[in-house]
Amino acid sequence: MRPAGATGGGGAGWRGGNGPTRRAGTRLAVATNEPLRAMTDRGPQQIGAAVLATALPVGRWTRLSAGDGRKGPRVYDRAHIRLARWPTPGWEHWLRARRSLADPTDLAYDVVFAPAGTTLATLVRVAGTRWAVEEGFQSAKGEVGLDQYAVRRWDGWYRHSTLALLAQASLTVVRAHAAGEHKGGVSPCSPPT
């Protein structure tokens, strides 16, 4: 027996199938030896991510921050290389490389699918927003038991996760309200005057 919407016919909550589609950028971490299709002087070739990154001239690396993390600013040298993928009008595939300032041999790679003309700084800023989401999930695990479920079915897990995240959102609003009153300021929850 399949849940409603799992037939691909556009049921409630189905985001694929015959329904309208919306393009969204994606980012996927890849291994150093991941074969990627890139343009070379001999045409498109399959080349490993690390080989592509090490072939970049020094001037292609830019020092950028992805925002503050738990240990301070997340500043790395970064570069991106356009990949030769199946063309999608208005969109591009990139290999994005991140190099540690302390150890230049420490590199990380991801493949990005983004609107054409997106700058490296924008790609880095958007990737950096992931940390805020991760910190929110970590907070929800500790404060409202997001990870404390023992369910065997999807609907039970969905109910538990929804209620835990609703509780986390409520706590966040209450904290913001209390901080506004404590500091003598206007609470973000106060009705407009």
pLDDT in tens, 92-125: 999 999 999 999 889 999 999 989 888 999 888 8
Q: Is the pLDDT of residue 23 over 90?
A: no
Percent of the chain with pLDDT over 70: 81
User: For residues 90 and 84, what is the distance between their CA atoms, to the nearest angstrom?
Assistant: 14
User: For residues 110 and 30, what is the distance between their CA atoms, to the nearest angstrom?
Assistant: 5
pLDDT digits (tens, 9 = 90+) for 45-96: 899 999 999 888 888 999 998 887 777 788 899 999 989 887 788 899 999 9
Q: Which of 96, 106, 88 is nearest to 34 (CA)?
A: 96
Q: Is the pTM of this model over 0.75?
A: no
User: For residues 25 and 88, what is the distance between their CA atoms, to the nearest angstrom?
Assistant: 12
**What tokens does 169 get?**
């959102």
Q: Is the pLDDT of residue 183 over 80?
A: no
